[in-house]
Amino acid sequence: MDIENMSLEQIWEQISLKTEETNLAEDLNASYTFHIKSDEEKSYSLIFENGKAEVKFGSIEDANCYLSMNELNFKRLLTGDLNATSAFMTRRLKLKGNIGDALKLEQILKNYSF
């Protein structure tokens, strides 16, 4: 899969498929909203609850974490070319909410191959 040539919508479709195929977050009950800037800002949400994961297009109001970044950094985060902690420290990733849940998300994403 060549993530660099995929649109955000295609990437989130793949994330949705991967979360349906494999449950890597059985113990996680958290929700995340991603605000991703490309030509325009788009929002996507990822919800882990009761051993299941769900992708929603758009933001959710009660997310545990809100993550903001540009499209390139989002793609680099998914492929493992960008470390979330260093991205946060260098302001390439903005985080609002529970940092512990954000770190758990990075570990989960590393287990999916993009």
- The count of structural domains within the chain is 1
Contacts of 88 (CB under 8 A, 6+ apart): 94, 95
Whether pLDDT at 114 is above 80: no
Kindly report the CATH number assigned to the domain that includes residue 24: 3.30.1050.10
Confidence at residue 1, expressed as pLDDT on a 0 to 100 scale: 64
Amino acid 52 reads K
Contact (Cβ atoms closer than 8 angstroms) between residue 77 and residue 93: yes
**What is the span of the domain harbouring residue 77?**
3-111
- The pLDDT tens digits for 51-84 are 888 999 999 999 999 999 999 999 999 988 998 8
* Measured CA distances, 48 to 26, 30, 53, 58, 86 (Å): 8, 5, 4, 16, 24
